[in-house]
């Protein structure tokens, strides 16, 4: 039977970042992934990085390409009633954000892992978590026609909301906290140069819209829709007409249009599972929590989770003490619930709901007007959007 110190399920940002941090601390790990390397590296995902995530990538030696290719933003634009207001996060907090797609973060981490001689086992199947409450938990899996068994000190479940890690736990082990939103996002990728120097968050009577950037030639835009909407029922002309209407300003601004290469509908929900650990199995990232995309917290929370887990494991291997590992869930959840609060607030602020009354509409507009004219309110938004400081126990 094979052995490693930490078995990691999932080669997304959480699993790869954890393996990277552990290697820097001299801790052995093996990463298991059910997709091929090509599938992992070419699955297009959003990638808005908080300042703390950018800093961590740089500090650990995987930020060079990010510094060359990312779009760095001072803040965001809020648009409502045909007017645009700039929230200058750099001026308010000294912190900004970077647009760098998730698959690019993953590529950088995979390269760093393999260049250092670390092991990532792609295309695995039938992964089983065994004896997480025991002193020697293990992972059974298939690699092609070969069955492998990996004994570990600890297992990190970084395999997303549909992965085996969380679903391997006995019923009743975790408490589930969830909110499902009555709307989704209709997202497109378009071959066009950037329409704006900052992200645009627009509130319109027809619903929310967002303008963001993926590269110098590829743009990502969204507008609020019914979560059951069929994207194939929308022609390109209809999509651009809807975006122009929701993004319209008094000065005639309009998005730069181009050929649409992807159409997708994204559901919106908030989910937290507690606790994030069960014996020697630790959950991180989407395996433990999901946020609506409005606040751009998903990838950043995953990185924050494994940052805490890596430091807790480092302390264990240095001293043998379990106190920090025992506190992993509690420490992570403090940040997670603050991110959930912010994501819920920003989502409900910018979106329309069929259940909204005229009172709700006026209150929403009043809150937006207060927000863009109050330095204290803008600072609160900037602090949360650019990322709260890491809390150390």
Pick the catalytic residue: 278, 293, 328, 351? 293
Q: Is 222 a catalytic residue?
A: no
Model pLDDT for residues 236-287, shown as the tens digit of each residue? 999 999 999 999 999 999 999 999 999 999 999 999 999 999 999 999 999 9
Domain end marker among 207, 235, 268: 268
Domain end marker among 268, 289, 318: 268
Q: Is 385 a catalytic residue?
A: yes
Pick the catalytic residue: 73, 107, 204, 278? 73
Same domain, 188 and 260: yes
Same domain, 114 and 257: no
For the cut 70, the answer to whether the pLDDT of residue 55 exceeds it is yes
Same domain, 241 and 290: no
Same domain, 332 and 183: no
Q: Residue 153: what pLDDT?
A: 97
Q: Residue 321: what pLDDT?
A: 84
Mean pLDDT of 376-390: 95
Same domain, 107 and 18: yes
With b meaning 16 or more CB within 10 Å and e meaning fewer, what string describes 66-88?
beeebbebbbbbbbbeeebeebe
Q: What would the DSSP string read from start to end of 171-198?
A: TTSSEEEEEEEEEEEEEEEEE---S-SS
Q: Is 201 a catalytic residue?
A: yes
Model pLDDT for residues 127-182, shown as the tens digit of each residue? 999 999 998 999 999 999 999 999 999 999 999 999 999 999 999 999 999 999 99
Same domain, 106 and 237: no
| Residue 387 within a domain | no
Pick the catalytic residue: 201, 278, 289, 292? 201
Q: Is 182 a catalytic residue?
A: no
Q: Residue 391: what pLDDT?
A: 67
Mean pLDDT of 62-86: 97
254: containing domain:
178-268
Question: Of 158, 53, 151, 189, whose CA–CA distance to 108 is shortest?
Answer: 53
| Residue 80 within a domain | no
| Residue 118 within a domain | yes
Q: Name the pTM for this structure.
A: 0.95
SS3 14: helix
Give the whole-angstrom CA distance, residue 25 versus residue 20.
9
With b meaning 16 or more CB within 10 Å and e meaning fewer, what string describes 273-301?
bbbbbbebbbbbbbbbbbbbbbbbbbbbb
Question: Of 278, 275, 302, 282, whose CA–CA distance to 290 is shortest?
Answer: 302
Give the whole-angstrom CA distance, residue 251 versus residue 273.
46
The CATH number for 257's domain is 3.30.9.10
Domain end marker among 229, 253, 268: 268
Residue 294 near residue 342, CB atoms below 8 Å: no
Total structural domains within the chain:
2
Model pLDDT for residues 298-326, shown as the tens digit of each residue? 999 999 999 999 999 999 999 988 889 99
Q: Is the peptide bond before 98 cis (omega within 30 degrees of 0)?
A: no
| Sequence-separated (6 or more) residues with CB below 8 Å from residue 160 | 10, 12, 285, 286, 287
Give the whole-angstrom CA distance, residue 76 versus residue 354.
27
Alpha helix segments (H runs only) across the chain: 13-24, 37-42, 51-59, 64-69, 89-93, 102-115, 164-167, 236-247, 298-319, 323-326, 328-350, 358-373, 375-386
Give the whole-angstrom CA distance, residue 104 versus residue 100.
7
To the nearest whole number, what is the mean pLDDT of the chain? Answer: 95
Q: Residue 213: what pLDDT?
A: 87
Q: Is 293 a catalytic residue?
A: yes
Q: What would the DSSP string read from start to end of 16-28?
A: HHHHHHHHHTT--
Same domain, 147 and 6: yes
């Amino acid at each position: 039977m094979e052995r490693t110190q930490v078995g990691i399920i999932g080669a997304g940002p959480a699993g790869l970042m954890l393996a990277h941090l552990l290697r820097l601390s001299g801790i052995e790990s093996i990463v298991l992934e059910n997709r091929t390397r090509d599938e992992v590296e070419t699955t297009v995902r959003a990638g808005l990085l908080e300042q703390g995530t950018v800093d961590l990538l740089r500090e650990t030696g995987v930020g060079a390409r990010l510094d060359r290719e990312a779009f760095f933003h001072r803040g965001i634009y809020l648009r409502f009633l045909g007017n645009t207001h700039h929230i200058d996060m750099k001026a308010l907090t000294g912190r900004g954000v970077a647009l760098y797609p998730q698959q690019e973060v993953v590529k950088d981490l995979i390269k760093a892992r393999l260049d250092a001689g670390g092991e990532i086992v792609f295309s695995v199947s039938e992964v089983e978590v065994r004896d997480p409450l025991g002193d020697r938990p293990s992972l059974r899996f298939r690699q092609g026609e070969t069955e492998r068994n990996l004994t570990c000190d600890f297992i990190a479940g970084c395999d997303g909301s549909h992965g085996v890690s969380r679903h391997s736990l006995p019923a009743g082990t975790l408490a589930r906290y969830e909110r499902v939103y009555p709307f989704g996002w209709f997202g497109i990728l378009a071959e066009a140069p950037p329409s704006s120097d900052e992200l645009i968050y627009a509130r319109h009577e027809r619903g929310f819209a967002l303008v963001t950037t993926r590269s110098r030639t590829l743009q990502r835009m969204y507008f609020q829709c019914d979560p059951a909407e069929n994207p194939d029922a929308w022609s390109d002309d209809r999509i651009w007409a809807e975006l122009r209407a929701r993004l319209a300003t008094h000065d005639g601004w309009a998005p730069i249009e181009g050929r649409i290469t992807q159409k997708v509908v994204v559901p919106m929900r908030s989910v937290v599972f507690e606790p994030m650990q069960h014996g020697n199995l630790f959950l991180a990232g989407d395996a433990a929590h999901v946020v609506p995309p409005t606040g751009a917290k998903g990838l950043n929370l995953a990185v924050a989770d494994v940052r805490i887990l890596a430091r807790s494991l480092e302390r264990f291997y240095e001293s043998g003490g379990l106190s920090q590992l025992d506190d992993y869930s509690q420490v992570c959840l403090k940040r997670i619930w603050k991110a959930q609060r912010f994501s819920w607030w920003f989502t409900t602020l910018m979106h329309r709901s069929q259940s909204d009354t005229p009172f709700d509409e006026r209150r929403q507009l009043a809150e937006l007007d207060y927000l863009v004219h109050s330095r204290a309110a803008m600072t609160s938004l900037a602090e949360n959007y650019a990322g709260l400081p890491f809390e150390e126990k």
